[in-house]
């Protein structure tokens, strides 16, 4: 009996599947796509958008090995990922390995477990033409828009820039949000509240329970205090008022659990709870899906189901398993009579289940020792959400108190509100997160989840036993508090909230969210504020403004959403690929041709009242001395604002004008010698912050980072800020010899070192760590543990010595 060749995408998955299939099967990996469009357009529009596919560079050897194995096999099973992209890879593999796609057998593994693999192998099918045609259509759309619109951006703005079909829409959302923030006008408002207590004899006052009450109404109408004069009047009235309980309402409130994770919800929670980006989340999830080595007894096991899904569906077997687990671990009181059922969003593809653990046998605690830290965190998040999704709702006892306040001689009667709740039955909250985590996750809730939260009681403060008609006393201090506030602008998108926005608008699909976010960041169109939130750069704004002025329809989020639905129709077999592409291209080409006739998108030069000092009679260079002295103009390039000479291109002198175009600050000369020419170095400001530059510029163009004043403890060199060459990489602090090929030093820190000795152990420096809200200064030596708030001066070791974290990163 001959062997069966099974082709999957990744070597990790191949290893896991081979274990389950045994000796009658050979399992090899294609390592992703083996064929793709070439670097040139590769699409013949006139011939039905026919693609020209080529072997992906570097995949020649892989394909050769697959072909050799295919010749020796009786059967070929194509087990690439169970989605459009996987179907397209299988289509290309079928062409290369069998010559005809209809000869191939396609199998799907929705979970990499013994049962999942055996079920897939037992149910082969033909390649789904509608599925890979949908992928082909998306690929052609992206290629056409990418090539033609990038060429437009080159001609209108700057050479080398690019634009993508969906990424440009995501960039527009970021720009639109920034415009909202800039247009926002803060409004003043005042929070007014009191601290109250039950009346009591003087001797009992110290023991009585106080509670807060917030101003809500004046003379029976809602009161919003928006100025200091009104606030002062109300405060004065309340300070002399008599307080009487007017109404007490007690009710039981229930809070429903959440559905198990879809791709977008997993990415949102991973950002907000774990600090993982969308791309990083999907990479970790891919590893958990493909298989993790769990020791000799268990071998390699796929721990979660397929991680690209927009469905909340769970298989009957998995439902039975989790209900049994809940009853055993948390008791029957936590198990609803019937399984919880959740609605999937509109247009969801129910081919895959929600993201869940493949087996309740592999608890997070059981597998923790076999997982990397990031893997464990994400697996526990998925585990907790899945288990919680089938538990009973949480129950609270909610009490609301309305207190009437009337001051003698005052014309107004005020009403204040207090509320408190006590968790009566934890239900699913016992598994899925603490209150702080819930609040954090709540910032990224969907509309459905936000609506559910709107019905929840406020606060968890406990109230004393009170009764209607009871007289209360104002407790001073603090007495009446009147706090001035101002409304805040909308928050910028972070990775989680941008994924949520894309999902809610119907832009992209589970398989593309991470790619969209990654591409938006890969260009210099956005920057991250505080390492978290997206802010568009000047370049990003210009690209979006130019594309919008060109009236290209694909920039409309609603149009892009509609295109996703049309691709779904192709996948469902309800529309032909060529029909969709022809309809799109005809309109797109007309719009593109019109946009080419407009003016350039970059700002016109603005003359400056300044002459160029690099050309004219006083120039050092003989050729430049022969020119009439040029005048400078403020100009823009894709690298930022600069002052350029009117004698360009003969005189190429430029001056940096800073990120806002208002002029770069003058350089500050230092005592540091230039190692190339011996002149002094000066600190200058550039696009990425301060740097050292030779005062002999432009004759000497030597530049390097500014030393932080801390010597390298490993080799004695200077510690500097090191920006990674790879886009999106994390900045760290390392030795100035980090990239020196002759005297290479691999010492580095993730936290910024400060030139201050540790008062506890005498170490030569400390580091700045903690969070933005609570920055901390700590000793870099984890054995020392010295730590203090960054807002407080250095103190004696005995007052600040505490357990610290290691600040030195592994080299």
Is 306 catalytic? The answer is yes
Ramachandran bin of 656, using left for φ above 0, alpha for ψ from -120 to 50, beta for the remaining angles: beta
Residue with tokens 């505080």: 530
Check if the beta carbon of residue 674 is closer than 8 Å to that of residue 687.
Answer: no
Residue with tokens 């000066």: 682
Beta strands 188-198; 210-218: pairing state:
antiparallel
Burial 330-347 (b: 16+ CB within 10 A, else e): beeebbeeeebebebbee
Q: Pick the catalytic residue: 258, 306, 396, 765?
A: 306
Show the tokens assigned to 130: 């509608």
Q: How many CB atoms lie within 10 A of CB 485?
A: 12
Identify the bridge partners of residue 275 per DSSP, sorted by sequence position. Answer: none
CA distances from 134 to 83, 645, 792 (A): 10, 52, 60
Report the distance separating Cα 570 and Cα 132, nearest Å: 9
E strand or H helix at 190: strand 188-198
Helical spans, DSSP H, in 455-576: 495-505, 513-522, 538-549, 557-571
Burial 596-615 (b: 16+ CB within 10 A, else e): eeeeebbeeeeebeeebebb
Sheet containing strand 748-749, edge to edge, reads 719-722, 732-735, 748-749
Check if the beta carbon of residue 704 is closer than 8 Å to that of residue 735.
Answer: no
What are the CB-based long-range contacts (under 8 Å, 24+) for 51-57? Answer: 51/136, 51/139, 51/140, 53/92, 56/32
Beta strands 292-293; 241-255: pairing state:
unpaired
Q: Tell me if residue 613 falls in helix, strand or coil.
A: coil
User: Phi then psi for 686, rounded to 5 degrees?
Assistant: -130, -170
As a whole number of Å, the CA-based R_g of the chain is 33
Check if the beta carbon of residue 694 is closer than 8 Å to that of residue 675.
Answer: no
Beta strands 3-8; 73-78: pairing state:
parallel
CA distances from 390 to 241, 256, 320, 456 (A): 50, 10, 10, 20
Q: How many CB atoms lie within 10 A of CB 153?
A: 22
Q: Cβ contacts of residue 505 below 8 Å, gap of 6+? A: 557, 558, 561
Show the tokens assigned to 173: 């959302």
- What is the C-alpha end-to-end distance of the chain, expressed in Å? 52
Catalytic residues: 306
């Amino acid at each position: 009996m001959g062997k069966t060749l099974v082709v999957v995408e990744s070597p990790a998955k191949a290893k896991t599947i081979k274990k389950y299939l045994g000796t009658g099967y050979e399992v090899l990996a294609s390592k992703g796509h083996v064929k793709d469009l070439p670097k040139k357009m590769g699409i013949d529009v006139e011939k039905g958008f026919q693609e020209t596919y080529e072997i992906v560079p570097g995949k020649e050897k892989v394909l050769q090995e697959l072909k050799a194995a295919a010749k020796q096999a009786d059967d070929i099973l194509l087990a690439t990922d169970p989605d459009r992209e996987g179907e397209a890879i299988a289509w290309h593999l079928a062409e290369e390995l069998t010559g005809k796609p209809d000869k191939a057998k396609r199998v799907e593994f929705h979970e990499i477990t013994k049962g999942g693999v055996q079920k897939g192998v037992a149910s082969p099918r033909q390649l789904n033409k509608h599925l890979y045609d949908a992928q082909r259509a998306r690929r052609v759309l992206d290629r056409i828009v990418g090539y033609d619109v990038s060429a437009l951006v080159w001609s209108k703005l700057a050479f080398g820039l690019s634009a993508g079909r969906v990424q440009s829409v995501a960039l527009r959302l970021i720009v639109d949000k920034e415009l909202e923030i800039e247009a926002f006008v803060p409004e003043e408002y005042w929070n007014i509240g009191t601290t109250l207590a039950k009346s009591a004899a003087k001797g009992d006052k110290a023991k009585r329970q106080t509670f807060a009450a917030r101003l809500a109404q004046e003379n029976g109408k809602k009161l919003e205090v928006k100025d200091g004069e009104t606030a002062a009047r109300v405060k004065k009235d309340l300070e002399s008022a008599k307080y009487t309980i007017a109404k007490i309402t007690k009710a039981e409130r229930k809070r429903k659990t959440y559905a198990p994770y879809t791709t977008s919800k997993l990415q949102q929670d991973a950002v907000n709870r774990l600090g993982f980006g969308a791309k990083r989340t999907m990479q970790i999830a891919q590893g958990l899906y493909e298989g993790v080595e769990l020791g000799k007894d268990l071998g390699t096991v796929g721990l979660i189901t397929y991680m690209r899904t927009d469905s909340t569906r769970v298989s009957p077997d998995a439902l039975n398993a989790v209900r049994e687990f809940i009853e055993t671990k948390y008791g029957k009181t936590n198990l609803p009579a019937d399984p919880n059922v959740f609605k999937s969003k509109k247009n969801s593809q129910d081919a895959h289940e929600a993201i869940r653990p493949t087996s309740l046998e592999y608890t997070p605690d059981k597998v923790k020792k076999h997982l990397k830290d990031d893997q464990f965190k994400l697996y526990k998040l998925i585990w907790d959400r899945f288990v919680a999704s089938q538990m009973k709702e949480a129950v609270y006892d909610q009490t609301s108190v309305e207190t009437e306040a009337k001051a003698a001689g005052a014309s107004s009667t005020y009403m204040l509100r207090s509320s408190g709740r006590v968790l009566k039955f934890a239900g699913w909250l016992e598994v899925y997160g603490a209150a702080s985590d819930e609040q954090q996750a709540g910032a990224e809730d969907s509309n459905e989840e936000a609506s559910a939260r709107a019905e929840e009681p406020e606060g968890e403060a406990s109230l004393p036993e009170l009764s209607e008609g009871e007289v209360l006393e104002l407790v001073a201090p603090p007495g009446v508090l009147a706090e001035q506030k101002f409304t805040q602008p909308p928050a910028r998108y972070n990775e989680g909230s941008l994924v949520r926005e894309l999902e809610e608008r119907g832009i992209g699909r589970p398989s593309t969210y991470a790619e969209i976010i990654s591409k938006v960041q890969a260009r210099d169109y956005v920057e991250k504020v505080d390492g978290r939130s997206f802010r568009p750069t000047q370049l990003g704004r210009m690209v979006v403004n130019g594309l919008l002025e060109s009236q290209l329809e694909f920039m409309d989020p609603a149009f892009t959403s509609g295109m996703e639905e049309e691709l779904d129709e192709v996948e469902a077999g309800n529309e032909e690929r060529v029909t969709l592409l022809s309809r799109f291209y005809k309109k797109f080409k007309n719009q593109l041709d019109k946009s080419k006739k407009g003016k350039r998108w970059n700002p016109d030069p603005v003359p400056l009242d300044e002459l160029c000092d690099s050309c004219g009679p006083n120039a050092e260079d003989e050729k430049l001395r022969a020119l009439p002295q040029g005048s400078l103009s403020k100009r823009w390039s894709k690298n930022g604002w600069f002052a350029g000479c009117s004698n360009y291109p003969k005189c190429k002198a430029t001056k940096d004008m800073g990120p806002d175009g208002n002029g770069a600050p003058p350089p500050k000369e230092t005592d540091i010698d230039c190692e190339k020419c011996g002149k002094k170095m000066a600190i200058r400001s550039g696009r990425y912050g301060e740097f050292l530059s030779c005062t002999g510029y432009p004759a000497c163009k030597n530049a390097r980072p500014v030393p932080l004043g801390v010597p390298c403890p490993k080799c004695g060199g200077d510690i500097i800020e090191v920006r990674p060459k790879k886009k999106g990489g994390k900045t760290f602090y390392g030795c100035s010899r980090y990239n020196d090929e002759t005297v290479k030093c691999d010492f580095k820190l993730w936290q910024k070192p400060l030139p201050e000795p540790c008062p506890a152990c005498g170490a030569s420096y400390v580091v700045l760590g903690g969070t933005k809200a609570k920055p901390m200064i700590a000793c870099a030596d984890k054995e020392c543990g010295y730590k203090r708030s960054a807002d407080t001066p250095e103190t004696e070791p005995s007052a600040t010595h505490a357990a610290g974290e290691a600040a030195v990163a592994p080299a």
